[in-house]
Structure 1
Amino acid sequence: MGLEFLIPSFIIVVSPGTGVVFTLATGLTRGARASIAAAFGCTIGIVPHMAAAIGGLAAILHTSAVAFHTFKYVGVAYLLYMAWNALRENGALRIEGDIGQSSMVDITIKAILINILNPKLSIFFLAFLPQFVGASDPHPLLRMLSLSGVFMLMTFVVFVAYGLFAASVRNQVIARPRILTWLRRTFAGAFVALGVKLALADR
């Protein structure tokens, strides 16, 4: 495992997407612990896509237009729901001082769903992972599992960094209601934009 895998993986992980947006929003409105829960959920949400790529199930999404579009539009609907929820004062971006266990579980589940409901991830890993497994590799499955584990660890570390950064400026944000309103609209707009991008995506 060399730089040819680590560098593109890092670029992919740090690039703004639904997981990054959700983790930043969670850190800003609910603090450090909640942002770590969001990062964890986003990382766990990668597992089904990794499994699909390794098991060849992602090929079904790649070849079946019906399967791909069904999966895709469920993901679009969920992103639009997240956008609507972000705008509500008691929605996903509500300010909470002490995060209870139920809130942590709720954040984790939302984060998992954000990544699960994106068929492009399965197809991405179907195309990405095999590039780093040689035809002569004696244990290709083990190799793909180790690469997947590194990618997930990188995702978790980077997302935690995003979340903790957002949490570090949280007090300045919540002390200014106008900024908070602007942030809600910004994050809602980001979820809508990501939903539109997913809706327009081809296999």
Structure 2
Amino acid sequence: MLNPKIMLFFLAFLPQFVDPAHGKQGWALLLLGVAFAFNGTLFNLAVAWVAARARSRLGRMQRLVVWVRRVTGLVFISLGLRLALAAR
């Protein structure tokens, strides 16, 4: 609620789902905002749960962890080189 970009998004996006003929548009917008926040929280909890499970399973595979770190390092080095050699 303190993020002005989110407030502008809600003010621009949600009114198309509110019927002005029924009145009480404020309550309808509030209900849609609460539903959005609830669904977003559920989704973020699911992502955190899946990430924690994947981390615990990958933590047992030390060889895989070493290779993932190597590949990640190679990706970052290549991105840094590309950025350093890019024409300005």
Both structures adopt the same fold (TM-score exceeding 0.5): yes
Indicate the SS of the match to 1:48. coil
| Equivalent of residue 2 in structure 2, options 28, 48, 56 | 48
Quote the offset at 1:140 in angstroms. Answer: 1.1
Q: Distance in 1 between matches of 2:56 and 2:11?
A: 42
Does the 8 Å CA contact 2:15/2:29 hold for their aligned counterparts? Answer: yes
Does the 8 Å CA contact 2:18/2:28 hold for their aligned counterparts? Answer: yes
In the TM superposition, structure 1's runs of 4+ consecutive aligned residues that sit over 6 Å from their partners are none
Unaligned runs of 5+ in 1: 1-46, 50-57, 59-118, 190-203
Write out per-residue CA displacement over residues 22-74 of structure 1, whole angstroms, 9 at most, x where no aligned residue.
xxxxxxxxxxxxxxxxxxxxxxxxx334xxxxxxxx5xxxxxxxxxxxxxxxx
| Equivalent of residue 23 in structure 2, options 125, 130, 138 | 138
> Residue type matched to 1:174 in 2?
G
Q: Distance in 2 between matches of 1:146 and 1:180?
A: 44
Write out per-residue CA displacement over residues 165-203 of structure 1, whole angstroms, 9 at most, x where no aligned residue.
1111112333434325639x78xx9xxxxxxxxxxxxxx
> Residue type matched to 2:2 in 1?
P
- Aligned pair in 2 of structure 1 residues 135, 160: CA closer, same or farther (>3 Å)? same
Q: TM-score under structure 1 normalisation?
A: 0.30
Q: Distance in 1 between matches of 2:54 and 2:69?
A: 12
Q: Distance in 2 between matches of 1:180 and 1:152?
A: 35
Give the total of aligned pairs: 71
Q: Name whichever structure is richer in helix by fraction.
A: 2
| Match of residue 41 from structure 2 | 156
> Residue type matched to 1:173 in 2?
L
| Match of residue 126 from structure 1 | 11
Unaligned runs of 5+ in 2: 80-88
Write out per-residue CA displacement over residues 137-188 of structure 1, whole angstroms, 9 at most, x where no aligned residue.
32111111111111111001111111111111112333434325639x78xx
Does the 8 Å CA contact 1:129/1:147 hold for their aligned counterparts? Answer: yes
- Does residue 61 of structure 2 align to residue 166 of structure 1? no
Q: Distance in 1 between matches of 2:69 and 2:7?
A: 35
Higher relative contact order (CA 8 A, sep 6+): 1
Quote the offset at 1:130 in angstroms. Answer: 0.8
**Identity percentage over the alignment?**
24
RMSD: 2.8
Q: Distance in 1 between matches of 2:38 and 2:69?
A: 31
